[in-house]
């Protein structure tokens, strides 16, 4: 799988993102990190529609992929994802996103998906933080005890395990979470946890890992 990992939104490597569009340019936009308790659904939908429009402008054929529609329906989600060539996973609350991935069976699907050499995973903020081994290093920025889904009432700290380091998006940036990210980085240093800090605009591209 190829990864396009941005600190915020689509970052400053748009031409590279366009180059990475698979032959199957259908991309599912996952917005479940914005399902947190207290969020404005209308605002979340507006945000998703704007990002889908942008992805279409890059050359993708984008569509919403709401993991809530697949809770306890892993086979259906697997079939859906197998019809796509890419995923874009939006920012929000990393722990809420992780819960949605667990309840939909995305965890199991991802174990097979990550071995495909014709698939692109793109995202930013929560959408990249969830790829780490552990989510412990992001719990100041994102509330791990926000439980929008009735099936889960305890935080999930285990990430998808692609990277052995934590992502620290919005570092030293004009973003409302930048100060909290600074505190998270200090925690990482104090605990000797591996991390990579990204300023908004920064993008990490990992091809075929």
| Cα–Cα distance, 161 to 167 (Å, whole number) | 12
- Write the burial class of residue 99 (CB in 10 Å: 0-12 exposed, 13-18 middle, 19+ buried): buried
Tokens representing 122 are 């793109």
Strand partners, 205: 4
Q: Is the pLDDT of residue 209 over 70?
A: no
**Cα separations (Å) of 82 from 74, 113, 125?**
12, 9, 25
Per-residue pLDDT band for 128 (boundaries 50, 70, 90) equals very high
**Exposure of 13 in the CB half-sphere (CA atoms within 13 A):** 19
Question: If you ran DSSP here, which 8-state letter would residue 5 be given?
Answer: E
Tokens representing 189 are 């240093």
Helix (H, G, I), strand (E, B) or coil at 134: strand
Average pLDDT estimate for 165-177: 94
| Cα–Cα distance, 189 to 110 (Å, whole number) | 30
Helix (H) / strand (E) containing 63: strand 61-64
**Mind giving me the DSSP string for 85-142?**
SEEEE--S-HHHHHHHHHHHTHHHHHHHHTT-TT-EEEEETHHHHTTBSB-GGGTTTS
Determine the length of the chain: 209
Q: Tokens 């689509």 correspond to what residue?
A: 10
Are 7 and 174 a contacting pair, CB within 8 Å?
Answer: no
pTM higher than the cut 0.85 = yes
pLDDT tens for residues 19-49? 999 999 999 999 999 999 999 999 999 999 9
Average pLDDT estimate for 113-132: 96
Residues 6+ apart with CB under 8 A from 103: 67, 71, 72, 149, 151, 152
Strand partners, 6: 124, 203
pLDDT of residue 208: 72
């Amino acid at each position: 799988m190829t990864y396009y990992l941005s600190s915020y939104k689509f970052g400053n490597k748009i031409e590279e993102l366009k180059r990475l569009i698979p032959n199957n340019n259908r991309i599912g936009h996952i917005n479940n990190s914005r399902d947190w308790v207290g969020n404005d659904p209308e605002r979340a939908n507006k945000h998703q529609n704007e990002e889908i429009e942008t992805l279409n402008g890059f050359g993708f054929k984008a569509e919403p992929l709401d993991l809530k529609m697949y809770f306890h329906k892993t086979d259906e989600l697997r079939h859906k994802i197998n019809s796509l060539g890419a995923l874009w996973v939006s920012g929000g609350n990393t722990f809420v996103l992780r819960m949605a991935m667990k309840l939909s069976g995305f965890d199991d699907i991802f174990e097979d998906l990550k071995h495909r050499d014709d698939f692109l995973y793109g995202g930013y903020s929560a959408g990249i933080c969830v790829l780490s081994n552990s989510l412990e290093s992001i719990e100041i920025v994102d509330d791990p005890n926000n439980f929008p889904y009735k099936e889960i009432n305890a935080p999930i700290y285990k990430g998808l395990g692609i990277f052995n380091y934590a992502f620290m998006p919005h570092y030293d940036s004009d973003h409302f979470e930048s100060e909290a990210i600074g505190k998270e980085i200090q925690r990482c240093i104090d605990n000797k946890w591996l991390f990579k800090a990204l300023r908004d605009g920064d993008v990490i591209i990992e091809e075929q890992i």
